[in-house]
Chains A and B, each alone.
Chain A
Amino acid sequence: MKVSLFVTCLVDMFQANVGKDMVEVLERFGCELTFPQGQVCCGQPAYNSGYVEESKAAMKNMIQTFEEAEYVVTPSGSCATMFKEYPRIFKGDSEWEPRAEKLAGKTYEFTEFLVEVLQVEATGAKLEGKATYHPSCHMTRLLGVKDAPMKLLNEVEGLELITLPNAHNCCGFGGTFSVKMGPISEQMVDEKVASAELTGADYLIGADCGCLMNIKGRMERKGKPVRVMHIAEVLNSR
């Protein structure tokens, strides 16, 4: 199966490990991977701030970059959601709407791809300890990927999953929200950190790099012992 990686700008620049782990997991299940070099950012930061026109150039770049791909797989629910939004954003644009439509149709979030397309739940991963999972907002509500991460995590040997209290509440990232509305974001991420601590988990796992960067950054600042992990890192542990 030919898979084009859309690793997101955060992974490319700041969390290369997440990308590497995703690569190794996908290769293990026989995927033939490519990384279209033209990829930059899906445009979400500008788009969500209301700069729709400014963000369209980034979107067009992504549409072009992935035009030839068979499957597009990304380790970020939010960025996958953005690709899925493209057709709505280019609605009525006779050139770009159909191309956006095509991209949206072949885009998958990493765990969704494993479970739905590759039909894999047991990845053979092993990780000792207690973990709690933060379901990120865009991935669960807009992309509709709720069960796939749990199915995969349930099969990880040695991992005990504990429910995160008020898991449905946003971690306070929200892209530019995290800096524009700092005082509110702080309260939100603090509650998320406290909820994670309350579970007594060794790991807080998520499937969205932005949210994880937020939670991890706050944990580190406060010197919390909980380790924040992307699900790709977990699934590639052995």
Chain B
Amino acid sequence: MAMKFSTEDFKERIKENIGDDFMRKAVAGAQERLHTRRLDAAEELGNWEEWRSHGEEIRQHVLENLDYYLHQLSENVASRGGHVFFAKTGEEASRYIKEVIQKKEGKKVVKSKSMVTEEIHLNACLEEAGCEVIETDLGEYILQVDDHDPPSHIVAPALHKNKEQIRDVFAQKLDYDRTSKPEELAMHAREMLRKEFLTADIGITGCNFAIAETGSVTLVTNEGNARLVSALPKTQITVMGMERIVPSFEEFEVLVSLLTRSAVGQKLTSYVTALTGPQGEGDVDGPEDFHLVIVDNGRSRILGTEFQSVLQCIRCAACVNVCPVYRHIGGHSYGSIYSGPIGAVLSPLLGGYDDFKELPYASTLCAACTDACPVKIPLHELLHKHRQVIVEKEGRAPVSEKLAMKAFGLGAASNPLYQMGSKVASTVMKPLTKNDRISKGPGPLKAWTELREFPAPEKERFRDWFTHHQKEKGDGKS
């Protein structure tokens, strides 16, 4: 699957990333900063819950009527002279884009940040076809220069790198000879990339939201790179996941308000750009040719299922920024370009359980993600649904676990069985108990006691104490 970037197994990846001190500090710091900024931005509005409900109702309505809105969108793009290509698979999308570029005899492609093009491995396809493909989002650019290091965060892709590492990469690959100050590094990237913008034949962008009523695509950035990508090259190709659509400008403004607040705590980012078709008649800048590629790539399989709500996602990464698991294992542990809670829900759906079946278990179901989501995706419930599917439909759960759960089912449902077990527990565990604790547990307790002490079972269970207690009280009364 294209979204997968690691062949190591999940446990190995976790081990490796937990040992990466810099990454862990960076992630923790970013989480704390973004968490506070998001809460402040929400607080300022005063009625955040109402905003979330509005975001949710818009997204749900769009998904329920997706065919209609996509039809309307394509009509309106075409009426403005743009070309629309519906791609069932990632390969179809990549092939079309390659062909457009070849027809234009394009050599140099500048790109602004787009998760869906990562998902369909577009860059590799274009590079194979002989194009030079340049990522222009600063974070993506750093990763690309560093031999295509994969992104570790949906919004801040290079979060796992520190400035010294970035300086070294720039020095090695770009003959950079200045300091590791972020300002200088960014200025260098600006200078390098400005030349590329001015000489590129093709611009490729993602799409934050398409607007059905006007046939517009919108781009949300702070750096301004998406503006350059869409203003200078003669041909612009915009790639969108098919669900990233709203009915009109009015819904767009609500979702963009939710997006920028949830992602970075800003009321709006520096640039929000709505592009409609190619350049207008008499326009000097903007593309002469505009192509919109609408990608399914597994999304329609999610529609109509119990997982449909995951398609409400607006890619703000608020769930990533509050996830206590992501906090410690970082984005690369997920092995998918989509990390954090949204990645743990989406990756198995788009990429299959073969590669991503562990991800739904990488959660304590603490619901911080659900709480943070600006469009109210019940993320922790979807993680739980995955577990249910893995156990019940996919039959992938380990046999030992199945047996244990069967036993649990019996024991927990049957009072006599529980009574018997809980009563003798103290006696059975006695040889292992020291100072009311168990430090080395057998069987299922082993994994627990590898990390922590386990309490010794009570000699007198609460229920036995309570019976005595009631009796004593009764005696006292009479």
Interface of A with B (CB < 8 Å)?
5, 7, 9, 11-16, 19-20, 23, 33, 35, 37-41, 43, 45-46, 48-55, 57-58, 60-61, 137-138, 141-142, 166, 168-170, 172-175, 177-189, 191, 213-214, 216-218, 220-221
Query: In the complex, which residue of chain A has the Cβ closest to the Cβ of B358?
Result: A181
**Taking A168-B322, A174-B366 as contacts, is the C-beta distance between A179 and B328 under 8 angstroms?**
no
CB of B406, distance to nearest CB on chain A (Å):
6
**B367 x A61 contact (CB < 8 A):** no
**Taking A37-B415, A141-B370 as contacts, is the C-beta distance between A5 and B466 under 8 angstroms?**
yes
CB of B267, distance to nearest CB on chain A (Å):
24
A61 to B447, CA, bound (A): 29
The answer to whether the Cβ of B425 comes within 8 Å of any Cβ in the partner chain is yes
**Taking A61-B415, A166-B32, A184-B14 as contacts, is the C-beta distance between A53 and B392 under 8 angstroms?**
yes
Q: How many interface residues does chain B have, given as a range?
A: 35 or more
CB of B122, distance to nearest CB on chain A (Å):
32
The answer to whether the Cβ of B413 comes within 8 Å of any Cβ in the partner chain is yes
Query: In the complex, which residue of chain A has the Cβ closest to the Cβ of B402?
Result: A51
> Of B364, B448, B453, B463, which one neighbours A170 at CB under 8 angstroms?
B364
A168 to B38, CA, bound (A): 14
> Of A49, A177, A187, A217, which one neighbours B18 at CB under 8 angstroms?
A187
The answer to whether the Cβ of B270 comes within 8 Å of any Cβ in the partner chain is no
**Taking A46-B409, A61-B415 as contacts, is the C-beta distance between A20 and B397 under 8 angstroms?**
no
**Taking A50-B387, A217-B454 as contacts, is the C-beta distance between A184 and B328 under 8 angstroms?**
yes
**B409 x A188 contact (CB < 8 A):** no
**A169 x B327 contact (CB < 8 A):** yes
Q: Which 10 A-B pairs have the closest CB atoms?
A: A174-B364, A50-B387, A217-B452, A57-B413, A137-B366, A54-B409, A179-B447, A58-B412, A170-B366, A50-B391
CB of B11, distance to nearest CB on chain A (Å):
8
**A179 x B405 contact (CB < 8 A):** no
Q: Which residues of B contact A138 (CB under 8 A)?
A: 366-367
**Taking A12-B422, A179-B444 as contacts, is the C-beta distance between A55 and B364 under 8 angstroms?**
no
The answer to whether the Cβ of B331 comes within 8 Å of any Cβ in the partner chain is no
**A19 x B466 contact (CB < 8 A):** yes
Most buried by A among B322, B325, B386, B447: B325
A58 to B417, CA, bound (A): 12
A39 to B214, CA, bound (A): 60
**Taking A23-B469, A138-B367 as contacts, is the C-beta distance between A184 and B362 under 8 angstroms?**
yes
CB of A164, distance to nearest CB on chain B (Å):
14
CB of A146, distance to nearest CB on chain B (Å):
12
Q: Which residues of A contact B370 (CB under 8 A)?
A: 141
The answer to whether the Cβ of B100 comes within 8 Å of any Cβ in the partner chain is no
**B408 x A16 contact (CB < 8 A):** no
A15 to B363, CA, bound (A): 26
**Taking A20-B462, A40-B412 as contacts, is the C-beta distance between A172 and B364 under 8 angstroms?**
yes
